[in-house]
């Protein structure tokens, strides 16, 4: 389960405050020290933790809180608010084009879950009565095209491919023409990943982006890689410019550091989270619900 250990530690630290009738600054300091440790152990970015603790403390030692009848509960509410803020405040939806088709470029490192997530996303669009098209632009990994065809079939979404001999930019252009002709209103481009970020990969993605001018450039990152996921997001955003992040494998991420750091570090929203391998396992990301879930 995601955030299991963080959740337990935060609840533990804050429960000590909840029971108290009156609070002083020292009580808050002690609890915040525990909160800080819990966040660092959850692999949250160091600077993010520092700012978070400062923000909470500033609000918590104010006289309204200290003099209230339930100061402990007020502090818990402040922590909840600040966690929500950290993750982006409110849901960030897909930006659909006013003149369809909407083009969504999926990018990310190999194994992050790009292909699976492209299919999940296409299925969720289908449920909204849209007409998605999946496009196979990963021509380097031998099984990638086949994999997209298999998941596309499961999602009952058509897949456009031209094999592995054509340049991905040309495939993307042809897919756009094909989609327009067939009345597809959302075109999801699955691109190649690499084990590490390299210049060739970025150049190719940039070419596709320049030619298609997509509404969304969604970066898929594996939450289980913690701060590496945050670094990957920073680099992709610097080099390519992303519009949002999809965090995968949250079902296996006991810590949660990526989810809690990415927004604050990159200033780009987490749009969806994936919590399993099945096509249904994709959810819009709600910072407020996630914060409440963490605090129990």
* Beta bridge mates, 218: 106, 244
> Residue 59, class by beta-carbon neighbours within 10 Å (0-12 exposed, 13-18 middle, 19+ buried)?
middle
Tell which residue, 122, 118, 113, has the closest CA to residue 157. Answer: 122
Using CB under 6 A as the binding rule, whether residue 100 contacts ligand GDP is answered as no
DSSP class of residue 162?
B
Site string for ligand GDP, 198-237 (x = CB under 6 A): ----------------------------------------
List beta partners, residue 282: 274
Q: Which is nearer to ligand GDP, 32 or 107 (CB)?
A: 107
| Stretch of 9-17, 111-119, 125-133, 211-219 lying at the interface with ligand GDP (CB under 6 A) | 111-119
**Nearest 5°: phi and psi at 243?**
-105, -15
274 binds ligand GDP (CB under 6 A): yes
Q: Is 122 in the site for ligand GDP (CB under 6 A)?
A: no
Stretch that binds ligand GDP, among 10-18, 84-92, 106-114, 177-185 (CB under 6 A): 106-114
- The residue (of 100 and 276) whose beta carbon lies closer to ligand GDP is 276
Pick the stretch among 19-27, 62-70, 113-121, 124-132 that binds ligand GDP (CB under 6 A).
113-121
Establish if 257 lies at the interface with ligand GDP (CB under 6 A).
no
Binding residues for GTP: 108-115, 190-194, 248-251
277 scored as a contact of ligand GDP (CB under 6 A): yes
Burial letters for 4-21: b for 16+ Cβ neighbours within 10 Å, e otherwise? eebbebbeebbeebeeee
Q: What are phi and psi of 106, to 5 degrees?
A: -100, 130
252 binds ligand GDP (CB under 6 A): yes
- The reply to whether 62 sits near ligand GDP by the rule CB under 6 A is no
CA distance 234 to 150: 32
* Contact status, residue 2 vs residue 43, Cβ threshold 8 Å: no
- Positions touching ligand GDP (CB under 6 A) are 108, 110-116, 193, 248-249, 251-252, 274-277, 281
């Amino acid at each position: 389960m995601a955030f299991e250990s963080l959740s337990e530690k935060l609840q533990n630290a804050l429960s000590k405050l909840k029971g108290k009738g009156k609070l002083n600054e020292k009580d808050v300091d002690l609890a915040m020290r525990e909160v800080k440790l819990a966040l660092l152990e959850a692999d949250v970015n160091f600077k993010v933790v520092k700012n978070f603790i400062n923000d909470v403390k500033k609000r918590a030692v104010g006289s309204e809180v200290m003099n209230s009848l339930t100061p402990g509960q007020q502090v818990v509410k402040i922590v909840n608010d600040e966690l929500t803020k950290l993750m982006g405040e409110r849901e960030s939806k897909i930006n659909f084009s006013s003149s369809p088709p909407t083009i969504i470029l999926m990018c990310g490192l190999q194994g992050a879950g790009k292909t699976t997530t492209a299919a999940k996303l296409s299925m969720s669009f289908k449920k909204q009565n849209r007409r998605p098209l999946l496009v196979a632009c990963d021509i380097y990994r031998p099984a990638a095209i086949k994999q997209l065809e298999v998941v596309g079939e499961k999602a009952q979404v058509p897949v456009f491919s031209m094999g592995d001999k054509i340049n991905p930019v040309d495939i993307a252009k042809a897919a756009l023409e094909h989609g327009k002709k067939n009345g597809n209103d959302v075109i999801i481009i699955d691109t190649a990943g690499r084990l590490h970020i390299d210049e060739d990969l970025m150049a190719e993605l940039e070419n596709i982006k320049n030619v298609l001018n997509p509404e969304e450039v969604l970066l898929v990152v594996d939450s289980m890689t913690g701060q590496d996921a945050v670094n990957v997001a920073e680099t992709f955003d610097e080099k390519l410019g992303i519009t949002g992040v999809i965090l995968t494998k949250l079902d296996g991420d006991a810590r949660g550091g990526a989810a809690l750091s990415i927004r604050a570090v990159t200033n780009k929203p987490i749009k969806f989270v994936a919590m399993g391998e099945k096509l249904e396992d994709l959810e819009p990301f709600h910072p407020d619900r996630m914060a409440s879930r963490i605090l129990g």
